[in-house]
Amino acid sequence: MLSVLSSLFVVGVVRITFESDQLFYIRLQQLMGLFSLLFWYVALIISPLTYIFGKQKLRHLVYARRAIGVSAAYFAILHLCIALWGQLGGPSELVRLPELIQTSLLLGAVATVVLLVMAATSFDAVVRRMTYSRWKLLHRLTYIAFILVVLHMWMIGTHVTYSLAQIIALSALLLLAGLESYRFLMNLDKKWHFIEGKGGAVLLVAVLLAMWFAVIVSIPRSIDNYHSKHHGGAHGE
């Protein structure tokens, strides 16, 4: 309910703020894309955080996780519709767009489909029918889709060319990667008992984190951002 009400509020505020329809649609779809990303990030980080703080302390967040995931899907749909029909002129215009933008939209579209499947299977009845282990397997797709959306955002996002946005994105991605690495190692250790004490765990997480850092900072070097390529970055940086 909060997501639906805040989306209506945002439409009103952006309409009042931007007179030109073009700016109204661009700013609105950017905001809806950002909200979808933020809800998705929170939905992803809850599980690994329970390995640090315990499920009991985070029980309200754990309980709300599915609703947070469904909100991510809701804002992704709003983002897609406003971008496609408000900014890009409808599906028939997609063929005229530069290849980099088409590829980015395809990655975004695949991520949207995955988010919708996650949202549609977020009900107890569906989990029971699918069995928990198959449901869990299906919901692992969310990690692949999240990587696709990070690439989507890097390839055509405007604000990702700001240095501050890049520092925030890098820190947030490293935090998530570090926590997921810790959870992964703890689950492996339950089976193989190879980690020597807290020091051993910290060392292994640090190694994995260095690997993730190298992967994340290689994105701008190996994949173009449309605005940097054509306009020398949103601010001529």
Between the two ends of the chain, the Cα-to-Cα distance in Å is 40
Least Å from the CB of residue 187 to ligand HEM: 27
Shorter beta-carbon distance to ligand HEM: residue 69 or 157 = 157
Q: How many residues does the chain have?
A: 237
Q: How many CB atoms lie within 10 A of CB 192?
A: 8
Least Å from the CB of residue 158 to ligand HEM: 3
Question: Which residues have C-beta within 8 Å of that of residue 186, sequence separation ≥ 6?
Answer: 51, 201
Shorter beta-carbon distance to ligand HEM: residue 149 or 195 = 149
Shorter beta-carbon distance to ligand HEM: residue 26 or 185 = 26
Least Å from the CB of residue 88 to ligand HEM: 6
| DSSP, residue by residue, 12-57 | HHHHHH--SHHHHHHHHHHHHHHHHHHHHHHHHHHHHHHHHH-TTT
Ramachandran quadrant class, 5 (left: phi over 0; alpha: psi -120 to 50; beta: rest): alpha
Shorter beta-carbon distance to ligand HEM: residue 47 or 158 = 158
Cα–Cα dist 106/100, whole Å = 10
Shorter beta-carbon distance to ligand HEM: residue 31 or 205 = 31
Ramachandran quadrant class, 131 (left: phi over 0; alpha: psi -120 to 50; beta: rest): left
Least Å from the CB of residue 192 to ligand HEM: 35
Residues that bind ligand HEM (CB under 6 A): 26, 30, 33-34, 36-37, 76, 79-80, 83-84, 87, 105, 108-109, 111-112, 115, 149, 152-153, 156-160
Least Å from the CB of residue 118 to ligand HEM: 10
Q: What is the DSSP letter of 123?
A: S
Least Å from the CB of residue 26 to ligand HEM: 6
Shorter beta-carbon distance to ligand HEM: residue 105 or 179 = 105
